[in-house]
Structure 1
Amino acid sequence: MASIISRNTNSLRSLCFHTLTRCRSPLPSPPLADDALQHRPPLSLLQSVSLPKGLGTLSLAIYQKCLFATSTAETVNQGGEASKKAGEASSGKEDKSGESHQSSDSGKSVRGGPVSWLSFLLLVATGAGIVLYYDKEKKRHIEEIYSASKEVKEGPGVGKGAIGGPFNLINHDGKNVTEKDFLGKWTVMYFGFTHCPDICPEELLKLAAAVDKIKQKSGIEIVPVFISVDPERDTVEQVGEYVKEFHLKLIGLTGSTDEIRNVARAYRVYYMKTAEEDSDYLVDHSIVMYLMCPDMQFVKFFGKNNDADSLADGIIKEIKSYKK
C-alpha cells in the first residue's frame, strides 16, 4: 500500500512539474481579456481527462489549475501576437500616410511670409495708379480754374458792368473833367496820393516808361491818368507839381471827399487813411492800373508784379486783340 501511494505521488509530481514548466513566463501575466475567458477550458473537459488512480480531490484541483494556466498562456500569446501584427500594420499605414502627406505638402508652395510677392506687386501697382489718377485730376482741376478765370476776365460783359463808370473831377490845371473827356483814347488809370513815400512813385515811373515803350513799338498813343485818394492834402496845385515829375502827358485828377469816394467805388478801389499824427499820415490803397478802351470801358487791370516791359507788352496785346 505504501509503495502504491509513493508511486502515485511521484507521478503527480512529474506531471505538475511538466505542466508548470510549460506555464512558466518570464514576464508577469497581463489581465485576462474577454477572449481568454472565452477560451477557458470547460469543467467537463477537465473532468473527462483520465487521471491516475489514487489522486484525490486535491490532486484534481491542482491538475485543473495547471491546465487552465496553460490554455490561458497560449491565448494570451496568441492575443499578443495579433496585437503586435495589428500595431505593425497600423504603424505601416501611418508611415505610408505620413509619406503621402509629406509628398503632398512638398508639392505645395511654402508661404514665405505675411505678404507674398504677388500681393506686394499688386499693392505697388495700386499705389502708382492712385498717384497718377490724383495728378491727372489735379492738372485737370487747375486747367478748369484757369479756363474759368480766363473766361471771366475776357468776357465781353462781365468786366464792363463791374469796373468803371461816370465821374466828375478836377484836373491839375483846375478844369472840371468827366469820363467823356477821355473818349476815343486808350487810357491807363492809377489811384494813389502825392505823399506816398515809395509805392506810388515806383508805379508812376513804370507807367511813364511803359507809355513811351508802347509808342515806340506800336505807335499807339496812351493817356496816363493819376487820380488822388487823399483829397484833404492833394490840392490842384499839389497834384500839378507832382505829375510833372513823371511824364509830360500824365494827367492828375483830384476832387472833393465825396467825388473821390464815388470814383473809387466805381472802379472798385480800396483806400483808407491810417492813424493820424498831425498832418503826416499815410493812405493804404489798392495798387492797380486799369486799361480803359476808347469807349471808357474796362478791358484789363495790371498789378504790381508787372515791370515796364511786361506792362507795355500786355497793353499792346490787349489793344490788338480788342473787339468792340
Structure 2
Amino acid sequence: MPRPAVRQGDFDNNDVRLLQQMLRDMHYAVGNIDGDFGPVTEAALIAYQGDHMIGDPQGVCDVNTWAALEAQFGDLDGLRSEESIEDYVDDTYGAAHSSMDPEEQLAKLAVAANEQLAAAGVPNVPIQFGDAGTAWAVFDWRPWAVTVNRDLYVQAQEAGSAAENMDTIYHESRHAEQWWTIARLLAGLYDMDGAAINARTELNLDIANQATRDPILQSNTKTDAAIHWYEQTFGSSPVPAGVDAPREADAGATGGSVKRAVREYVEGGPAQGRAVLRRGHEDASEIRYLQELLTYRNFSPGRVDGDFGPVTEAAVKAFQASHGLTDDGKVGRLTWEALLP
C-alpha cells in the first residue's frame, strides 16, 4: 500500500518518523526523530528533493519522494521500519539490562527478533551462542541461523553496552529478512524451484522451498536492492542502473537504529517504564489504566476490569489505526505516547 503524503503540520506521525530517520541517515539535519513535521524537517526534505531533482511539491513527501527513498534504502517496511525497531526495543530493553544470565537474555532477544521477522513474513531463525569466529555475531543463510560470540556478548554486558548486543541481534536478523526477499525473488522473477535456489546460493533447502510458496512475481522499488545485491554477488545478469546496495537496519554514521532507539527510550518521556501490553497480559492494574485511557479517548474497551481480552484488543487496534500506528493490538511505547495525556 502506498505511503501517505506527509507535510509540515503533521504531528506524532509514524511516517514522519521514518522520513526523519532516513534523512538523518543520509546526513540531512532533521533535529529530533519525534514524528513532528516542523520547519527543520521541511528544510531537510527540501534539500534532499533538490539534490535528487524529485518532482513532488517542495517540502511535501509524496509518491515520488517515497519512491526515491525506497530505491535508496531498499525497503521501508519490515525490520527497517520505525515501528519494528521501537517494538523490538520495548520488548528487549528490560531483559538486556537485567541480571539474567547470558543464555536467558539471549533467549529473550531471540524471541523478540523473531516476532519482528514473523510480522514481516520471514521464517523463524534460531539465534544462539556458538562459534562466530572473531565476529560479534553472524547470520549464515546455509543453516539459516544466527550464531553469537558469547565472550563478546558478556564483555559488552559487563562494560554496560547492552544496547550493542540488542543492536547486533537485530542487525543479523535483518540479514535473514534480506535473504528471504532474495529467495522469494528467485522463485518468482527467475522461476527457480527450491532445489535450484539451494544449488545457486546454498540457501537452506527448507527455507528455499518455503520461498517458492510465496514468490515475488514483479519487481518494484522495495525489491530492486535485493535484486541488485544478488546479481552483484552471483553474477546472474546486468545490474539495474541507479539502484544502491541495500542498507542495513542500522545504517547511518550516527550508529545503529536500535542503539538510537535505546537512547531515545532511556531519555524518557511520558511512556517510559510502561509495560508492553498485549492480549492475555496479566498486569491487571496496568491494563485497567490502559482501558481508562481508551475510554477517555472515546475508544471503548468494554468494561474497565483489568482484563486484556478481545474487546480491549479491538479498541487498541482502532486507536492505533486512527493515529497512523501499526494496528497490531500491542501497546508499546509509541501507542502509550499517543494515548497518554
Q: Is TM (by shorter chain) over 0.5?
A: no
Higher gyration radius (CA)? 1
The TM-score normalised by the length of structure 1 is 0.18
With the length of structure 2 as denominator, give the TM-score of the two structures: 0.18
